[in-house]
Amino acid sequence: MNEPPGARIRVGLTALTMAEYFQDVNEQDVLLFIDNIFRFFQAGSKVSALLGRMPSTVGYQPTLSTKMGTLQERITSTKEGSITSIQAVYVPTDDLTDPAPATTFAHLYATTVLSRGLAAKGIYPARYKELQDIIAILGLDELSEEDRLTIARA
């Protein structure tokens, strides 16, 4: 995050351009990891402010939906290859209705939301509660060996 916002806003698009090269020219399938798509929004807001644009909802740039659409719609499959993306999305104040994550989720096929409450209690992995319910009903003996190992780790 030491780079200027103009450089940071281009990182995601540059990575996508490289993925498209491997997809179209080398005819390969690409798995693209995006560490935190929220950084794209932060950089966009700063660039927008530097350009003197009036911020929209909650201080985001007025082009939020357009910029996100431009990025997300390039993650696609063609006859030459495909691009699949796994993205981490920071959700400010755990508000899923915040414009940044809400705009992102509109473009994703699947989402997994991690529970801050369970993590704070030190309950790992996420299946612990599900397995706890099974144990309460059927007993520990009814769990598979893998599930017993999961319970032992938790």
Residue 22, strand partner residues = none
What Cα–Cα distance (Å) separates residue 14 from each residue in 20, 35, 56, 131? 10, 14, 26, 43
Residue ranges in the chain whose pLDDT is less than 50: none
Is 63 in contact with 44 (CB distance < 8 Å)?
A: yes
Which pLDDT score is estimated for 151? 73
Query: What confidence score (pLDDT) does residue 81 get?
Result: 95
SS3 77: strand
Write down the pLDDT at residue 94. Answer: 86
Angle at 51 between CA 6 and CA 103, to 5 degrees: 70
pLDDT at 126: 64
In terms of phi and psi (left: phi > 0; alpha: psi -120 to 50; beta: otherwise), the region of 52 is: left
CATH class of 5-113: alpha beta
* pLDDT score recorded for residue 18: 97
pTM of this prediction?
0.70
Rounded CA gap, 51 and 33, in Å?
30
pLDDT given for residue 32 in this prediction: 95
Q: What is the pLDDT of residue 54?
A: 86
Residues of the chain within CATH 3.40.50.300 domain(s) are: 5-113
Q: Minimal CA–CA distance to 107: which of 74, 140, 83? A: 74
